Structure 1
Amino acid sequence: MASDNTPSDREVDDPDKSDSASTRRGLLRAAAGATVAGAASTAGCLGVTTPADVAARNQVSGNVAHFVGPSWLADNREDVVVLDARNVERFRKERIYGARRVPFDAITSRRSTDAGLVPDAEAIADAFAEVGVSPDDDVLVYGASVGSRVTRTAFALAALGHEGDIKALNGGLSGWNGRLGTGSRDRVQEAEYEPDPAESAWVTREWLADRVGTFNGDGPGLVDVRVPEAYVGAPASDALNPDNDRHGHLPGAIGVHWVGNVAGRRMTEPGRLVQLYENQAELDRAGTVVVYGDDNVDPTSTWLTLRAIGFEDVRVYDGGFGEWANVEDDRGRYPVETKTSVVVETEGSVGGDDGGGDFSCTG
């Protein structure tokens, strides 16, 4: 595989600070049992932030799947493949040491079938193979936060039928106080990745069309993850995609904006997520839930969030509202609704590499 000869991964700390790096890793491990609330009442509020504070803020506690904190990564760094979901400029500037970057265009690629657009398993598998990911590797994905680029990468692996564990780093890169790398990535040995597509991870346009009239009633739960203005097709709203011929939502879908899954760089507190999706949205954790947005990236945030809090069967409509709204033939089979709207209000914000913290001593 081609690679340039510019400086590869290197440790940001000076060589004579190896003891300090070891101490940092020890502090990360020691903070594994700490809670976010505990961190908010200790050193951070005195103007001193330690590696243990950082780890504790981003620690994931309770019965939560897939999301892990930096202390988990400190303990398991040698056993997982670390994937960076950010763009190439940020990747080269600074990243977790040894991380690999998968081209985002590749893992969002789709192919056309008679039933509609579906993930292009061959193209996605080739992208992971190129950076040395094998089907049985345990993988951790991180980004600037736990936003939808991270969750789309996780979904792409799941769609391939990935056999290893798939985890996302709570807090993103800013939560990591371990070894860092810069420059172009190290050469890695290309792997073989024969996909075994997990078709239960997604649904098609035709699958949905066959069930119109049953969503959130006798049939599957259906969640529109776009902003409310797009969901109701608000006239003249900037939220409307000008490339879509029709606006609104699939009949019976409820609107729950995906940003409610994220609090800055971290996942929203799990208890609030259960309240949001089980109590307010009234989704059945034991039933099938389908999520969709305008494309096939943002819905994966809700896909991973629901799986993390115990929903058993969550699927992505990979074609997205754009495919549904712009279908050319027999539009009566693919109706769009603007009335009878159910919007569940969410609160959330997605952090990034802005240099500012999302931690407050006042909570």
Structure 2
Amino acid sequence: MTDHSEFIVSDDWLKARLGEPNLSVLDASWYLPAAKRNAREEYEKSHIPGAVFFDHDKVCDETSGLPHTLPSPQNFAGFASAMGVNADDIIVVYDSIGFFSAPRAWWMFRVMGAKNVYVLDGGFSKWKEKHYPVTSEPTQVKKTVFKVDFDANKVVLIDEMRQLVDGKTTQIADARNHKRFLGEEAEPRPGIRSGHMPGAHNIPFATLSEDGNFKDLSKVKTIFKDAGINVAAPVVTTCGSGVTAAVLALALESLGNHNVRLYDGSWSEWGSKKDTPVVTGNDGDK
């Protein structure tokens, strides 16, 4: 294993390939409500030439009552086709920060069968810092047909998550910041309890990158090990709404662990239930 993730590409790599056929570039920026930023408006003002906008608030199951539930394979195919993306394209996703919401789009495309999906290291911020080309011109999209090959095994739903927690049968990695994990900081969405699942381990997603760049895999492995996670064993990742859990999934896959699953409802679902076990403090963080 090298010290560089096979799922990450550099801005130099992408710049040299802009405009190539079968290259799909997606701006998958998204923000928590407290940030008071509009990702689509920012995309319309400035984006990488040829990029299309991946709207996390739309590419989801809007009937679920949860923020970012994975859409059905059929609906995802419709979204991807409307964006002009083929399953066999080289797909590069980025966000404005570097490693926040882009890995969620990376995960979704892979779950739906795309094989060549990558995250742009450093994100749009680094791209602009290098004075690489940006545009406000709308990207002309040629609608295509995205052929889905859905891997349902990569997704954990609430009933199975209850069994995994009750039976302590797998490792759980929570990507939220440490204060939210401990229950010392209120959740950003109303009506959701604070704390974490019994037995969960905390790996705040922000610890895996520095200045928007993904850390070397040797450092990533140490972060998981120090948090009590065996990176060679099965892991279920979770977070607030299923977005940054994908950062942990990307990290674990980069370390060669292909038995990584994501709890799609995440804390927005678990913390809103009245009968799901919740602990606070360091009880499960070991």
- Name which structure has the greater RCO, CA cutoff 8 Å, separation 6+: 2
Does 2:219 align with 1:272? yes
Please state whether the residue corresponding to 1:107 is helix, strand or coil: coil
Q: Which residue of 1 aligns with 2:52?
A: 100
CA contact (8 A) 1:233 1:249 kept: yes
* Residue of structure 1 equivalent to 2:78: 126
Count of matched residue positions in the alignment of Structure 1 and Structure 2 = 269
- 2:97 maps to what in 1? 145
Q: Which residue of 1 aligns with 2:27?
A: 84
Residue aligning to 2:273: 327
- Counterparts of 1:254 and 1:260, CA distance in 2: 14
Partner of 1:229: 179
> How much has 1:137 moved relative to structure 2?
1.2
Q: Percent identity, aligned pairs only?
A: 23
Tell me if the contact between 2:95 and 2:123 (Cα under 8 Å) persists in the aligned partners: yes
Change (3 A) 1:99 1:287: same
For 2:240, the equivalent position in structure 1 comes to 294
Cα 1:213–1:203 change in 2 (3 A) is: same
Does the C-alpha gap of structure 1 residues 325 and 94 become closer, same or farther in structure 2, counting only changes over 3 Å? closer
Secondary structure, in 3 states, of the residue corresponding to 1:82? strand
Q: Partners in 2 of 1:68 and 1:335 — Cα distance?
A: 40
Cα offset, 1:261, TM superposition:
1.5
Instruction: Provide the TM-score with structure 2 as the length reference.
Output: 0.83
Paired residues for 1:1-40 under 5 Å: none
Local SS of the residue matching 1:242: coil
Alignment of 1:129-278 (within 5 A): 129-162=81-114, 164-176=115-127, 177=130, 180-215=133-168, 219-234=169-184, 237-239=185-187, 241-244=189-192, 246-277=193-224
Taking the aligned partners of 2:248 and 2:201, their CA distance within structure 1 comes to 13
Determine helix, strand or coil for the equivalent of 2:101. helix
Q: Does 1:315 align with 2:273?
A: no
**Corresponding residue number in structure 2 for 1:281:** 227
Note the C-alpha offset of 1:205.
0.9
Equivalent residues of 1:230, 1:240 under 8 A apart: no
| Structure 2 counterpart SS, 1:89 | helix
Q: Closer, same or farther in 2 for the Cα pair 1:239/1:204, shift >3 Å?
A: closer
| In structure 1, C-alpha distance between the alignment counterparts of 2:227 and 2:167, rounded to whole Å | 16
Contact 2:3 2:216 in 1 (8 A): no
Q: What aligned pairs does 1:345-360 form with structure 2 within 5 A after superposition? A: none
Structure exhibiting the larger radius of gyration computed from Cα positions: 1
Report the equivalent of 1:352.
Answer: none
Equivalent in the alignment of 2:9: 68
Scaled by the length of structure 1, what TM-score is found? 0.67
Give 1:73 deviation, angstroms.
1.8
Indicate if the aligned counterparts of 1:223 and 1:291 stay in contact, CA closer than 8 A.
Answer: yes
Q: 1:290 to 1:111 in 2, by over 3 A?
A: farther
Contact 2:4/2:216 (8 A) holds in 1: no
Q: Would the alpha carbon gap of residues 326 and 62 (structure 1) be closer, same or farther in structure 2, given more than 3 Å must change?
A: closer
In structure 2, relative to structure 1, the CA distance for the partners of 1:88 and 1:184 (3 Å cut) is farther
Q: Distance in 1 between matches of 2:63 and 2:109?
A: 16
How far apart in 1 are the matches of 2:98 and 2:259? 21
CA distance in structure 1 between the aligned counterparts of 2:118 and 2:99, rounded to whole angstroms: 13
Give the aligned partner of residue 34 of structure 2: none
Cα distance in 2 between the residues matched to 1:340 and 1:103: 35
- Aligned-partner SS, 2:76: helix
For residues 73 and 306 of structure 1, do their structure 2 counterparts lie closer, same or farther at Cα, with a shift above 3 Å needed? same
Task: Quote the RMSD (CA, aligned, Å).
Answer: 2.5
Partner amino acid, structure 2, of 1:308: S
Gapped regions of structure 2 (runs ≥ 5): 30-38
Task: Output the CA distance in 1 between the equivalents of 2:63 and 2:147.
Answer: 17
The one-letter code matched in structure 2 to 1:210 is Q
SS across alignment from 1:338: coil
Give the counterpart letter for 1:281 in structure 2.
Answer: A
TM superposition shift of 1:159: 2.3
